[in-house]
Amino acid sequence: MATPGAGGNLQAKLVLLGDMGAGKSSLVLRFVKGQFFDYQESTIGAAFLTQTVAVNDVTVKFEIWDTAGQERYHSLAPMYYRGAAAAIVVYDITNTESFTRAKNWVRELQRQGNPNLVIALAGNKADLASKRKVETEEGQSYADENGLFFIETSAKSAQNVNEVFYEIARKLPKAAPAPQPQGLNLNAQGRTQPKRSCCSTS
C-alpha cells in the first residue's frame, strides 16, 4: 500500500515481475542509479532498492522489489508482491514467451483482489526494434482490455524508464488513497508516523 510518510509524502511498495531476462533489474538500475550493464547478472532471490520521485507537490518514495524471473521461483513471488501499491510487469518485445508470461503475471495480480493496485505493463528492449516479436499494438490492446498502464521501454537507451515510474507515482494517490490513521491530510507536514524513522524521505 502507499502509505503517507513523514512530511506528507508517500511511500509506495512497488514490485517488478516478469520473465527471466526481460530486463526487470535493468529497468530498476536505470531508474535508481542511471546505469545499464550488458551483462547484468540474473537476480537470485530478490533485490530491494529505493528511489524517490516528486510529482506535483508530493514526493513518492518507491520501495522497489526486484524479483527473480524464472518460473521455478514463482512460489516466492507472493512474498514480494503482497501489500504492494504498484507493480510493473515486464516483458521483452523480442520474445513472445515473455509476453505470455507477462499476461500470466497480470492475471495472478488481479486475482489477488487489490482493486487499487496500480499495474504497469512494460514492453522492454524497445531499442531492439529489428528483433521485435511482439508488436506495440498487441501490448497496447492487452493493456487496454485489462485496465493497465502500457508503455514500451528500453533500459539500455533509457527510453521511457523514468516515465513508467512517474506515471505510477501520479496514479498512486488517486488509486490508493493512503490510510490516514490520525485522520491527517496527505499534505500535512511532519505529523504522521513514518514507517521507520531512519528511512524517512522528507
Partner 1 sequence: MCSAELFLNATCVASSEELKIYKKRSFEAQRQSTQHAAMASAESSGEQASSGPTGTYEVVYIKDNVSVHPSPLANERISGRLKLIKQGQSVFLTWIPYNQSGIADDSGLILSPSEGAPVTPPQAPGRKDKDRNLYTIRAVSLSEIRSIRRHTPTLGWNYIIVVLTTGLAFPPLYFHNGGVKEFLGVLKEHALLVRSAEDANVYLVNDIQDPLQRSLTSLDLPEAVTPVRELEPLEEERVSAQEGPDEGGSALQPLVVSRRGPEGGVLDRLPQKHVDPLRDASIHILTQFSKVTRFVRDATTQLSGQNDRPLARSGMLGLPERAPVPPPVAPAVQRQPSAGLGEALPGRGAGDAGAGSRMEEDKDEPELSSLGAFELVDGLEEESPALVWGRPRPPPLGAEEWATFLDSEGRVSDPAGLRKRVFHGGVEPDMRREVWKFLLGYFPYESTRAERKALQANKAKEYEVLKGQWQSVSEDQAKKFAKFRERKSRVDKDVVRTDRTLPFYAGDDNPNVEALRSILITYSFYNFDLGYCQGMSDLLSPILYVMDDEVDAFWCFAALMERMASNFHRDQNGMHSQLLSLRKLVKLLDPPLDDYFRQVDCLNYFFCFRWILIHFKREFEYDNVLRLWEVLWSRYLSDHFHLYVCVAVLKRHRRKIMDEQMEFDTLLKFINDLSGRIELEGTLRDAEALCRYAGDAGVACMPPAPPPTDETQIEGPEG
Ligand X SMILES: Nc1nc2c(ncn2[C@@H]2O[C@H](COP(=O)(O)OP(=O)(O)OP(=O)(O)O)[C@@H](O)[C@H]2O)c(=O)[nH]1
Q: Can you tell me the distance from the alpha carbon of 155 to that of 162, in angstroms, rounded to the nearest whole number? A: 10
Q: Can you tell me the distance from the alpha carbon of 159 to that of 157, in angstroms, rounded to the nearest whole number? A: 5
**Chosen residue from 56, 57, 72, 130 binding partner 1 by CB under 8 A:** 72
| By the rule CB under 6 A, 128 interacts with ligand X | yes
Please check whether residue 13 is in contact with residue 63, taking contact to mean a CB–CB distance below 8 angstroms. yes
- Of 66, 63, 79, 58, which Cα lies nearest the Cα of 23? 66
- CB atoms inside a 10 Å sphere around CB 129: 11
User: Which of partner 1, ligand X, Mg ion, none does residue 154 bind to, with CB < 5 to 8 Å depending on kind?
Assistant: ligand X
User: Which of ligand X, partner 1, Mg ion, none does residue 63 bind to, with CB < 5 to 8 Å depending on kind?
Assistant: partner 1
Cell numbers given for 173:
494517490
| By the rule CB under 6 A, 160 interacts with ligand X | no
**Chosen residue from 8, 18, 21, 194 binding partner 1 by CB under 8 A:** 21
Residues facing 18 on adjacent strands: 90
User: Between residues 31 and 171, which has the closer beta carbon with respect to Mg ion?
Assistant: 31
Minimal distance, residue 195 CB to partner 1, in Å: 9
Q: Which residues bind partner 1 (CB under 8 A)?
A: 20-21, 38-42, 44-49, 63, 65, 68-73, 75-76, 79, 95, 97, 196, 198-199
